[in-house]
Amino acid sequence: MIGVSKESHRWGTVVTKWRKNLFKQHNVVMGPTYEHSYLVLNSERRVGYSVNKYNQGRRTVRRSAEVAESTNRKGLPPEMLHTLDHVVFVYSMFRQHSLTAARKLGKVEALAG
C-alpha cells in the first residue's frame, strides 16, 4: 500500500505515525495481530493493551533506576550525581504511589507486579 516491504524501517515509521494519528484524532486504537496486520481494539482489548503498555513502561523505569543505582559515582560531577539521584527518587516515588493506589483499589493482580 505504501510501496515498501513490511520488514523495512520505513513501513514501521509510517504505520506508527498512522496509528498515533488515528488515536489522537479519532480515539481509535489499532492493535497488532500475529499476521503483521492491525485491528481496531474494542473496549476489552483496550484494557489489555493499556495494562501491557503500563507494565512495559514500569519495567523500563525500573531498569533505568537499577542502572542509576549501580553506576560508579566516583569522579562524577555534582550535576550528574544529582541526575542519578533524581532517577532513583522518581522511581521510588512511582513505585510507592503505584502500590498505594493498588491497595486503595483492592486486589489488582494485573498491575501489582
> Tens of pLDDT along 10-65?
988 998 999 999 999 999 999 988 877 889 999 999 999 999 998 999 999 999 99
Residues 15 and 48 in one domain: no
Same domain? For 36 and 58 the reply is no
Q: Are residues 51 and 88 in the same domain?
A: yes
Query: How far apart (Å, rounded) are the C-alpha atoms in residues 108 and 73?
Result: 37
33 and 48 fall within a common domain: no
| Band of residue 109 on the pLDDT scale cut at 50, 70, 90 | low
Give me the domain span that covers residue 10.
1-41
Is there a single domain that holds both residue 52 and residue 78?
yes
Looking at the structure of the chain, the number of domains it has is 2
Distances (CA, A) of 34 to 5, 18, 31, 85, 87: 17, 19, 10, 41, 36
Say yes or no: 105 and 50 in one domain.
yes
| Cell numbers given for 36 | 503483521
